[in-house]
Chain A
Amino acid sequence: RSFASQTDGESRLARVLREKFPRASAIKVVDISGGCGAMYEIHIESEEFREKRTVQQHQMVNQALSEEIKHMHGLRIFTSAPKA
């Protein structure tokens, strides 16, 4: 798929993430349910994750997307801090 064809759901989630993680250096949201908005894969790299355990990092994403998550069937989260 080309970058031009982002789904509404992907755009919305990316926007929420940009607001909630102002220091993020990279954010990628992919609808992995074939465009149905049922399942997403989220990749986010941010200084805000430094020195935090993975489960804490994922919790931060869960909290940020708590409203949107209610309408999903599942999601995959991949977080990291930028290479120092």
Chain B
Amino acid sequence: RGRAGRPLSQAAGEGGGAEGGGGGSGSREAVERLVREHPVVVFMKGSPAQPLCGFSNAVVQILRLHGVEDYRAHDVLQDPDLRQGIKNYSNWPTIPQVYLNGEFVGGCDILLQMHQNGDLVEELKKLGIRSALLDAEKDQEKK
């Protein structure tokens, strides 16, 4: 199964996961810089063009539904230090992880819930992003 078969044994700072030194890509400072880089930042497996995990793909598809195509995506499979560092930073054991305005929002289950209950449209609005679904609704009303 290759890279996909890695257990979560290095969850949340316990075990032998590399915390990262002062300048390492998994250090708190490095992660902090990444999550603040853009209003929408996603840590995932693979890329938006080619997600390598069903849950990461779900996040990409949900964002796409809302018309959010401009965001920062980081492929943790390319960087083991970042993969561990992001889990330490958020104290959350799984990937994908979604950050809105530098704040950890959750993984794909939470994003899906927010999409279904309308919270995602609201959170995007707070970031100055107008969800494409609002325009889709408007088109329907015109009919």
Contacts and interface: CB of A to CB of B under 8 A. Distances in A.
Contacts of A62: 12, 91-93
Interface stretch (A1-9, A11-19, A22-30, A68-76): A68-76
B105 A55 contact: yes
Q: Which of A66, A70, A71 has the most CB of B within 10 A?
A: A70
Interface stretch (B3-11, B19-27, B70-78): B3-11
B8 A59 contact: no
A57 to B, nearest CB: 9
B94 interface: yes
B75 to A, nearest CB: 17
Interface residues on A, range: 10 to 19
Contacts of A69: 8, 11, 93
A75 B110 CA distance: 13
Nearest to B55: A74
Contact of B6 (A58, A66, A73): A73
Contacts of B106: 54-55, 58
B109 interface: yes
